[in-house]
Amino acid sequence: MIFRKTKGDMMESLRLRIKRRLEMYLELDIDGIRKSIIDILLKLRKVTVDLLYHELNLKFRVSYSAVASTLGYIHSKLGILHAYKESYKTPIVYSLKEEYVDIIKSVLSKS
């Protein structure tokens, strides 16, 4: 007997993997910066590195490059962000994937 995963099963396993990655990411948050970044993403839904840098510097002392690398990490490893660039002259805009907002809120409420 062969079992095949349906599209719904695959989507659910992807959501579970993203939830686990986000939980692990926030568990390693020593100074609260990671949680603040996720909070800002939830609040604003779309950010650039520059905007996130200015928002974070209201509470923390962080470098621009640290913010850029953290945002890049969240985009590439956690899978909760879209990234797009209108032209080569404009900055990359990162936007929260709406299908994961419920997971993000759930994980944040537990941390």
User: Which CATH code, of 1.10.10.60, 1.10.150.120, 1.10.101.10, 1.10.10.10, is assigned to 7-110?
Assistant: 1.10.10.10
Residues in the chain: 111
User: Quick check: 36 and 56 in contact, CB under 8 A?
Assistant: yes
- Low-confidence spans in the chain with pLDDT less than 50: 3
- Helices 7-27 + 33-44 axis angle, to 10: 130
**Residue 72 token pair:** 């890049």
**If you average pLDDT over every residue of the chain, what do you get?**
90
26, 107 contact by CB (below 8 A):
yes
Radius of gyration of the chain (CA): 16
Q: What percent of the chain has pLDDT over 70?
A: 90
Could you tell me the pTM of the whole model?
0.83
